[in-house]
Amino acid sequence: MIGGLPPYLQRAMSALIERHAGDRHTVAIETTDPAHLAATRRRLSAAQRRCLAEVGFGAAAGAFALLHAANGELARVLVGVDAQEPLGALAALSSTLPTGIYHLADEGVLTDRRAAALGWALGAYQFTRYRAAQRAPATLAVPPADLAPLHMLIDATALVRDLVNTPTEDLGPEQLAAAVKRAAKTHRAKLREWVGDALLDANFPTIHAVGRASHRAPRLVELTWGKASDPKLVLVGKGVCFDTGGLNLKTGDGMRWMKKDMGGAAHALALAQLVMQAKLRVRLTLLIPTVENSVAGSAIRPGDVVTTRAGLQVEIDNTDAEGRLILCDALAYASEQQPDLIVDFATLTGAARVALGADLPALFANRDALAERVLAAGRAVGDPLWRLPLWRPYRQLLDSYLADFVNCGASRQAGAITAALYLERFVAASTPWLHLDTYAWNDADRPGRPRGGEAMGLRAVFAFLQERYAR
Ligand code: BES
Ligand code: ZN
Ligand code: ZN
């Protein structure tokens, strides 16, 4: 709780504001590192140097020191940074420094100040739906030209975090669809939706099969935006609002965080919002297949065979491999439109986490040059991805004895790859396609990465799209 401030004032307080030339009374933050500490010290008063020595400030990355003027006022903040990691440089400060307004000093070792400001803002995020903010963020005053591009990324990241953090009771398929509708309204995009049995009428049988056991109807939401003559971009996101595993029920531990299984949908929606805000030169389609993977008498069973939209027959080996099932109808539909590019995001497999850990989304691509460009974009914006192969010989791991293939093989080896190979069957070989298997979650608090829902791979793909579809 922030000193008795009403909630509307708390929300109004932002981690970033515009900096103006005449501004006074904002506290300078100077970045430094062990190699530059001597030069930094020379700019200080004798009393301040003594203070630094007393607290043992060695400019290690993450260390910071508050320096005061003779009258006791906060005069300057020194922070040790790794100049190669600008995004993390200030990430801890916005939630640690005393509330007030700061700016980056002209002196300092950071070259990418915009990335540092982004890290500052990302570190100030708090999820306030169920309790008031724990504190007001410290505010960073940034050059006016930086504010709008930063706000887009900050809003998009907060949207992913908020949606993923919201429990299923408050974010079922209907509420997820409502979030897409809000974005459609803001950007005057067209919205279409197939709910419940309408999915069967419109030939989305696999989405229906996964979602039919829940009392909250499955749906497919489609947002379209942009000039029909521009290159077609389709974004797809896995919107499993809760994944019990279905009849192949997860264990308690395995189920605990499965409210986040719509993280792919949150990424796709946030990316669509960025594309529309940046007015990229595309005809955009956003597809969100959304369901609850629940247990009931009406649930799909292991051994059932489902005819997918594409006409391919899938034998259900495991009802917990449900993400690829809802995605395959959406990808088939996307592919029918012969787009310039399809990008899908999904919290698809535990195997991707075994391979790469929580922080590195797995990237799959059916074009090498495309993958290279996305990886490079991710490196450039501090949002790394790692590529895994669509290794053709592993397709046989999905052989079925009675249908075209199974949704998951008996062997769990290469689980992220076999899931991607399953999806690939529904994308025309002529269509460039990117698939991100992402965790969408921080297991613990770290600077700039609060515990809970997280955007991973979002800024990377957006940077890539900005390059590909610049106005
Ligand atoms: N939503 C899960 C994958 C998941 C689990 C992502 C934990 C992130 C954290 C997915 O639907 C699933 O259950 N996948 C199974 C696939 C298996 C049955 C082939 C998995 O990864 O175990
Ligand atoms: Zn599952
Ligand atoms: Zn799932």
Residue 8 has pLDDT above 50, yes or no: no
- pLDDT at position 25 is 81
pLDDT for residue 329 is more than 90: yes
Of 324, 353, 449, 468, catalytic: 324
CB-count burial class (<10 Å; 0-12, 13-18, 19+) for 433: buried
Give the amino acid at 289.
Answer: P
pLDDT in tens, 429-465: 999 999 999 999 999 999 999 999 999 999 999 999 9
Q: How far is the CA of 352 from the centre of ligand 2 (A)?
A: 13
Q: Is ligand 1 within 6 A of the CB of residue 320?
A: yes
Q: Is the CB of 255 under 6 A from ligand 1?
A: no
Decide: 315 in ligand 1 pocket, CB within 6 A: no
**pLDDT for residue 22:** 74
**Closest atom, ligand 1, to C-alpha of 245:** 13
Tens-place pLDDT, residues 95-111: 999 999 999 999 999 99
Q: Which one of the listed residues 49, 113, 250, 281 is annotated catalytic? A: 250
Q: Is there an atom of ligand 1 within 6 Å of 317 CB?
A: no
| pLDDT at site 4 | 52
Establish whether 250 is a catalytic residue: yes
**Cα 420 to averaged position of ligand 1 atoms, centre (Å):** 13
In sequence order, the 6+-apart residues with CB closer than 8 A to the CB of 134 are: 1, 126
Report the DSSP pairing between strands 16-18 and 441-442.
unpaired
